[in-house]
Amino acid sequence: MKPTQAATERAAALRGLLQDHAHRYYVLDAPEIADAEYDKLFQQLQAIEAAHPELLLPDSPTQRVSGSVLAGFAPVRHALPMLSIRSETDTTAGGAAAFDARVRRELGLAPDAPAIEYTCELKFDGLAINLRYEHGVLVQAATRGDGESGEDVTPNIRTIAAIPLRLMDCNAPVLEVRGEVYLRRDDFNRLNERQREKGEKTFVNPRNAAAGAVRQLDPAIARQRPLSFFAYGLGDVQGWAVPATHSALLDALAAMGLPVNGERRVVQGAQGLIEFHQRIAALRDALAFDIDGVVYKVNSRALQQQLGFVSREPRWAVAHKYPAQEQQTLLRGIDVQVGRTGKLTPVARLEPVFVGGTTVSNATLHNIFELRRKGVRIGDTVIVRRAGDVIPEVVGRVPGVRSIYVPNFHMPRRCPACDSAVVREQGGIDHRCSGGLFCPAQRKQAILHFAGRRAMDVEGLGDKLVDQLVDSGVIRTLPDLYKLASDKGRASLAACDRMADKSVAKLIAALENSKATTLARFLYALGIRHVGETTAKDLARHFGAIDRVMDASLLQLLEVSDVGPVVAQSVHTFFAQPHNREVVEQLRTVGIVWSEHDGSADRSPKPLASQTFVLTGALPTLAREDAKTLIEAAGGKVAGSVSKKTHFVVAGEEAGSKLDKARQLGVAVIDEAALRAMLQPK
């Protein structure tokens, strides 16, 4: 059926809206609508295109998620070669001065001639890409390859949300935009962490991960890697007037909706280049992505043409490098560190090496399985990477035959910090100390968790104060918190960051008030691995008393609703440690009283028993946490996502994708008034 005029106009409007909002979100970092609202617009466009396939255009935002698995990459002959630029390896100010001197010499300028104007940019550590737009629509994306020919990677590049599928206000017959595909450091770290959790190979650095994503034959896999892009130049151009300066060109690309990095400057002469190089060197660690230098370009295109090329490199541009972020050094030994959450991490002891702007003598090896995959052993020459403020890591060994046999490293069976048993969950990759509350390495984290609002709710006990109390030796265990009410404790508090008497009194009162709590809150406060608020409530409801929980066998724990083997083992292991049981007894001694009851004897009505709810949107009078508390008190459960097992979705204003999912699955949707009515005992 031919689409109506209304459908045609609505599809065009939605394409424009979605492109504009994507640009604001991914390029300008200034979103105007919530993700859920964007999803609604996206789904509307999908529905129109599904009903009227003839309205599906190549530049539609819905086409970012399409694409079948490729048999291989087709070769692409570049209309204009993608040439490299010369690198200046002198990382001092002399490198910038030398480039300016060469340019002046090639132009035949006298010593007293005016300074040359340059554009200064960042040298991104990613993969060069050529984007071909025809009449404003992206039709092809190709890798650099050997400079003359590359590979057609269009389906993968279309998955990068920052790259517009249609340019704004540009209808040139041909406009080729060149730039760099890269991975932000935080995205790279999350990607590697996911790989470790799945027991799969990790990536050496963001550049390798980005290059690997671009060259995936399956676009769906490429889309799972959060790639980004910066534009920095042109290829073939037909029917578009190129600006007279490079800086104006970058401004024009940005106006078309292409992401152009903001850390760029127009400077005068060698001194301007030097100042830019030094300024970016100071900012380098704070950048969200890796760079290995800066790029200087003569700003005037007329002067660029006059300077020309030498050995296929432009005389008018140079890359001024910074110290390398990867170096080789000797692995002297492997130690084990215990983190704040009890995780044991193998750490490489290295022959000190200067990398990423600092001297590194220790680097993480993450976990035993990654260490095995990398084949690293003591005595190897290894590659060390440090980028930004990321912890230095060993990314691999330099290939070569070992002169002597070196045994594999094994994780310890006892915690190096407290001598508690080290455990690894079945199927897990991390080794952990089972010491919990007793382990000094976990002390600060345990105290902060214990005092949290959803645990014992000790207002005023923040990170800074806990650091001071633990570092000064005032607090060594959780029961020590309640000794702060003594004269000696008050004096210690007053000495911490010069706390005022009023603040000290407020904290002491909060500690005193926390002594009367519920069993569920207390169990959650103990920080038992895998025991969140809901599980703590299930345990309290089932056993009714702390002693019954501590003495429960694995089989008895498995009888608790929604407690599986992993959680049961974690609870059992925690209370099998004598020092953890001792902490509970000491907390009982200082006066903590929890409301303990036999769950089977509880005769209070549970009108929502065995029913699962999902909350979405803003309710008129109830905060999300308050609604959750009321539902759970009435015997119901609150889940985070909608499924076929959901009984009711409670929807308020600006309800998002959960409401849509409920309607798709036929789940009942109610408002706050209906929920309150259901909470009344029958």
Q: Among all residues, which ones are annotated catalytic?
A: 123
Q: Which residues have C-beta within 8 Å of that of residue 546, sequence separation ≥ 6?
A: 519, 522, 523, 584, 594, 596
Q: Which residues have C-beta within 8 Å of that of residue 473, sequence separation ≥ 6?
A: none
Tell me the C-alpha distance between 506 and 517, whole Å: 18
Beta-strand pair 393-397/431-433: unpaired
Map 229-283 to HEC letters. Answer: EEEEEEEEEECCCCCCEHHHHHHHHHHCCCCCCCCCEEEEHHHHHHHHHHHHHHH
Other CB atoms within a 10 A radius of the CB of residue 276 amount to: 24
Buried b (16+ CB within 10 A) or exposed e, 357-389: eeebeebbbbbbebbebbebbeebebbbbbbbe
Pair 289, 269: CB distance under 8 Å: no
Tell me the C-alpha distance between 23 and 524, whole Å: 43
Backbone φ and ψ of 606, nearest 5°: -125, 80
CA-nearest of 40, 54, 42 to 7 is: 54
CA-nearest of 167, 174, 155 to 63 is: 155
Angle, alpha carbons 278-283-288 (nearest 5°): 145
Q: Which residues have C-beta within 8 Å of that of residue 20, sequence separation ≥ 6?
A: none
Quickly tell me which residue has 């609508």 as its tokens: 33
Q: Backbone dihedral region of 381: left (phi > 0), alpha (psi from -120 to 50 degrees) or beta?
A: beta
Fill in the DSSP letter of residue 152. Answer: B
CA-nearest of 128, 150, 83 to 313 is: 83
Fill in the DSSP letter of residue 668. Answer: E
Coil vs helix vs strand at 134? strand
CA-nearest of 379, 403, 268, 404 to 329 is: 379
Pair 285, 357: CB distance under 8 Å: yes
List strand residue ranges (DSSP E) for 135-222, in order: 137-143, 149-151, 174-183
